[in-house]
Structure 1
């Protein structure tokens, strides 16, 4: 059975990304007939500093090896999956630095694998979604699912709860459901599955 990593891109504390990723995972698991093993994976758990290896990621493993334990663990984790769903925040008009750094740590672990992108933020994270999609498709040579999911927080107290407390509010959950975002997530995940089956 193919394994899919559901990657939480935010590393700040507190972070609503954990709640968003859990919501996305519940949506995906609502359709068990897909028969894919989906496992949560948080970038924060790997404590990756700004890239600090003396070798270029593209040289690993053919010519060089990673020297730092955090690099080795991140590489091994990503290598163990056949596909990915990124759940990422938008910071200042793009993806978070932690997300970009984690992607850039590796190279040969990514190419040819399918990936879906779910972004979130006060306006849905469309620019973060676009920038990560371009990086993964054009540079890392991944197969990016055509359906991009952008999740905007409900206005008012939910925005402050998300940003200041790391809590995904009930109004936001309801709004996402009513806007058809569950169906979009399932569509994007289905595209990942289709790529795996090719």
Structure 2
């Protein structure tokens, strides 16, 4: 199984890249044999450099039919995934504009596949979680669940940040994430079960 981890921010001094490392850690624990491919707005494909396809992505039914080479590369990358984990910090009660740009470049590549959402902020991130559900539902993603959670204010207003490379040692430092591992892994397991059912149905 190939799992695409789509990360909606790349701020170098924020918490998102560290949270993404934690999510990847949980994915590996839940699916030891899975291949995990991580994408943010500029890496490994810089989607901020490419204009949106001149024909609405809704009317493009093959990754090969996008006009832009960047869009074609992105569409193929997303199409090869069997499931998705979509991660975003909450900015102004919604997911990030960067994530919206990533999603707006394509359309049908998500259709019928399962996905888990992870949103976070200093105050729960429920709004971004809900709005992400509306967005991805429009594209036909099968939302299987996920989590929204609060980051301690010391990680937002102070000097603390989530460890960039989350591992067994760092999990003792970022205790609030350690406490969420069981919940996230349970949500990921539901996504995996749905992915297996989807795969069997397509045979």
Q: Which residue of 1 aligns with 2:37?
A: 39
Compute the displacement of 1:47 (Å): 2.4
Compute the displacement of 1:172 (Å): 7.7
8 A Cα contact 1:95 1:129, kept in partner: yes
Q: Which residue of 2 aligns with 1:19?
A: 18
Using the alignment, how far apart are the partners of 2:30 and 2:107 within structure 1?
32
Q: C-alpha deviations, 1:31-76, integer Å up to 9, x for none?
A: 456x3322222232122237532111012136x9222222122111
8 A Cα contact 2:57 2:105, kept in partner: yes
Aligned length: 188
TM-score norm. by structure 2 comes to: 0.82
Alignment of 1:156-171 (within 5 A): 156=154, 158-161=155-158, 167-168=161-162
Compute the displacement of 1:184 (Å): 1.3
Using the alignment, how far apart are the partners of 1:168 and 1:122 within structure 2?
13
Compute the displacement of 1:130 (Å): 0.9
Q: RMSD of the TM alignment (CA)?
A: 2.5
TM-score norm. by structure 1 comes to: 0.84
Q: C-alpha deviations, 1:62-115, integer Å up to 9, x for none?
A: 6x9222222122111111111100111100000101111211211110110000
Using the alignment, how far apart are the partners of 1:99 and 1:75 within structure 2?
15
Query: Quick one: structure 1 residues 172 and 99, their matched pair in 2 at CA, closer, same or farther if it must change by over 3 Å?
Result: farther
Stretches of structure 2 lacking an aligned partner (at least 5 in a row): 164-169, 198-203
Q: After TM superposition, which residue ranges in structure 1, 4 or more long, deviate above 4 angstroms? A: 169-172
8 A Cα contact 1:153 1:172, kept in partner: no
Alignment of 1:26-105 (within 5 A): 26-32=25-31, 35-45=33-43, 46-49=45-48, 51-61=51-61, 65-105=65-105
Alignment of 1:101-180 (within 5 A): 101-137=101-137, 139-146=138-145, 148-156=146-154, 158-161=155-158, 167-168=161-162, 173-178=174-179
8 A Cα contact 2:108 2:140, kept in partner: no
8 A Cα contact 2:116 2:187, kept in partner: yes
Question: What SS class does the counterpart of residue 73 from structure 1 fall into?
Answer: helix
